[in-house]
Amino acid sequence: EADIYQTPRYLVIGTGKKITLECSQTMGHDKMYWYQQDPGMELHLIHYSYGVNSTEKGDLSSESTVSRIRTEHFPLTLESARPSHTSQYLCASSDTQQGSESPLHFGNGTRLTVT
């Protein structure tokens, strides 16, 4: 099982605050991802990275930003949190595999509430 960690698990924060959600993996996976999921709804890809210094926007427009300075670390930052950002944020990683996509391994998520 992949070792991928997210902190914090739960975060309640006021509108306008800057927040960073942390995600680290110890598997040496090249690819990392951030998904957003509202309760009972589908996963939406918001950012992904193929490796160090690579970041791409996903399918869902997001006001967040990401960075990938180290292979194992893929933090997500919201410069100014708003109530519409209230959601669960799931980080994932996968190995590089030629010709096909490897399965994703997910962290246990950060549940963000913006008041």
- How many residues in total does the chain contain? 115
With respect to other proteins, which residue has the nearer C-beta, 3 or 79?
3
CB of 114 to other proteins, least distance (A): 18
CB of 106 to other proteins, least distance (A): 4
CB of 89 to other proteins, least distance (A): 11
With respect to other proteins, which residue has the nearer C-beta, 67 or 88?
88
Question: Cα(23)–Cα(74) distance, rounded to whole angstroms?
Answer: 5
Amino acid at 14: G
**Cβ atoms of residues 38 and 87 within 8 Å:** yes
With respect to other proteins, which residue has the nearer C-beta, 14 or 39?
39
The binding site for other proteins (CB under 8 A) comprises 33, 35, 39, 41-43, 45, 48, 58-59, 88, 90, 99-109, 111
Question: Cα(80)–Cα(85) distance, rounded to whole angstroms?
Answer: 10
Smallest CA-to-CA distance from 76 within 100, 95, 48 is with 48
